[in-house]
């Protein structure tokens, strides 16, 4: 079994890993960080710690200790050590320093003065599109940051990122997606849009000649060596890297530790459909490779074994959960009383 450890609001990302996936899969399900932190009884399996970028600092500290307690148990395999994973800012800075990226990133609350323009602004911990268009100079950046503050965006949550993209044809841009699953790199897809801020892709912008080239790249796992270095530097065992090509050189934009694996959609190109089916089959094979066989061991968080900083986090998180549970019970009792009152009023 493979269990994806996720924040409660983001379980949907692996919904497609079921009997209709289109390729043989191990049993897969999700478990929330809240459930792990509650110390409940969990079966032996492969646990993938996802959503690292979405965890608050106290949650991150506790997740790192849960990871270590699990890792010490027989029958448990754990991926994505929360203490080692680099999230967006740290990752982009490290890639730049290592010469694996050619652009830089700046914290928005640090009086950013980029050495090159254009730049854009985005939220550090989400995977939503940028908050601004391309900003051509320092004055435009300063004005944008002031506007974002007025709108209620705390600068501490924002990054200023130097533009690194190149059109493949006038007005057309492409973004690649590649997974790491355990020790394996899996070049999965490439999408095209008529904007530099590529997200989902738009059909009909390229034809079968491009699809044939994409098919060859995906089947040969192009960029495998480069991406292995990227994921190693990121400290990420499971995730999806999104990147573009500038001068045929990958520029890594982010690594999502809880990427959405979608269902296979129909495509008008037979070439593209064959590529998509191949990619799906290889992704499934890579998941099979990290699967853990059944084992009798069970996991429950041991608060007594936590270091001091994690004990504080454990107490805070459980106190918040108890408070939320109490509020839920109060709402339930209030709803019951209102229902009884409504019934009496109807009888009258």
| DSSP track, 19-54 | TTSSS----EEEEEHHHHHTT--EESSEEEE--GGG
User: Residue 109 has what pLDDT?
Assistant: 96
pTM above 0.75, yes or no: yes
User: Residue 249 has what pLDDT?
Assistant: 96
User: Residue 69 has what pLDDT?
Assistant: 94
Pairing of strands 46-49, 2-6: parallel
Read off the tokens for 144: 């944008």
DSSP state of 135: B
d(CA 106, CA 200): 26
Read off the tokens for 274: 């064959």
Quickly state the pLDDT bin for 346 (edges 50, 70, 90). Answer: low
Q: At residue 52, does pLDDT exceed 50?
A: yes
**Are 26 and 291 in contact, with CB atoms under 8 Å apart?**
yes
User: Residue 127 has what pLDDT?
Assistant: 84
Percent pLDDT > 90 in the chain is: 78
The chain-wide mean pLDDT, for the chain, equals 91
Percent pLDDT > 70 in the chain is: 90
Quickly state the pLDDT bin for 1 (edges 50, 70, 90). Answer: very high
Q: At residue 244, does pLDDT exceed 70?
A: yes
Mean pLDDT throughout 111-133? 94
User: Residue 337 has what pLDDT?
Assistant: 46
User: Residue 338 has what pLDDT?
Assistant: 53
Reduced to 3 states, what is the DSSP secondary structure of residue 145? helix
Residue ranges of alpha helices (H) inside the chain are 33-37, 57-71, 88-97, 138-150, 208-220, 224-234, 270-290, 308-347
DSSP state of 302: -
**Which region, left, alpha or beta, applies to residue 76 given φ > 0 means left and ψ of -120 to 50 means alpha?**
beta
**Are 123 and 107 in contact, with CB atoms under 8 Å apart?**
no
User: Residue 302 has what pLDDT?
Assistant: 85
Which sign does the torsion angle of CA 303, 324, 80, 261 carry?
positive
């Amino acid at each position: 079994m493979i269990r994806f450890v996720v924040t409660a609001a983001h379980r949907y990302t692996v919904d497609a890993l079921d009997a209709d996936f289109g390729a043989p899969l191990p049993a897969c399900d999700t478990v929330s960080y809240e459930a792990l932190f509650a110390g409940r009884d969990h079966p032996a399996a492969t646990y993938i710690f996802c959503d690292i970028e979405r965890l608050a600092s106290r949650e991150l500290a506790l997740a790192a200790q849960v990871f270590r307690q699990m890792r010490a148990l027989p029958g448990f395999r754990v991926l994505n050590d929360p203490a080692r994973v680099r999230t967006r800012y740290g990752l982009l800075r490290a890639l730049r320093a290592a010469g694996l990226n050619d652009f830089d990133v700046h914290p928005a609350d640090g009086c950013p003065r980029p050495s090159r323009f254009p730049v854009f602004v985005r939220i550090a911990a989400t995977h939503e599109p940028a908050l601004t268009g391309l900003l051509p100079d320092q004055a435009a950046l300063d004005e944008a940051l002031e506007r974002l503050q007025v709108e209620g965006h705390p600068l501490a949550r924002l990054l200023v990122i130097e533009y690194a993209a190149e059109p493949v044809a006038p007005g057309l841009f492409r973004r690649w997606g590649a997974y790491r699953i355990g020790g394996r790199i899996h070049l999965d897809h490439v999408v095209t849009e008529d904007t530099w801020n590529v997200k989902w892709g738009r059909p009909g912008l390229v034809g079968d000649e491009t699809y044939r080239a994409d098919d060859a790249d995906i089947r040969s796992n192009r960029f495998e060596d480069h991406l292995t270095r990227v994921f190693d530097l990121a400290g990420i065992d499971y995730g999806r890297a999104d990147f573009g090509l500038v001068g045929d050189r990958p520029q890594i934009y982010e690594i999502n530790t809880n990427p959405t694996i979608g269902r296979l959609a129909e495509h008008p190109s037979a070439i593209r459909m064959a590529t998509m089916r191949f990619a799906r089959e290889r992704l499934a094979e890579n998941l099979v490779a990290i699967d853990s066989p059944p084992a009798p061991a069970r996991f429950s968080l041991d608060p007594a074994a936590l270091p001091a900083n994690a004990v504080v986090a454990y107490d805070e998180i459980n106190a918040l959960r108890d408070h939320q549970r109490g509020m839920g019970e109060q709402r339930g009792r209030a709803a019951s009383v209102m229902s009884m009152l409504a019934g009496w009023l109807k009888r009258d």
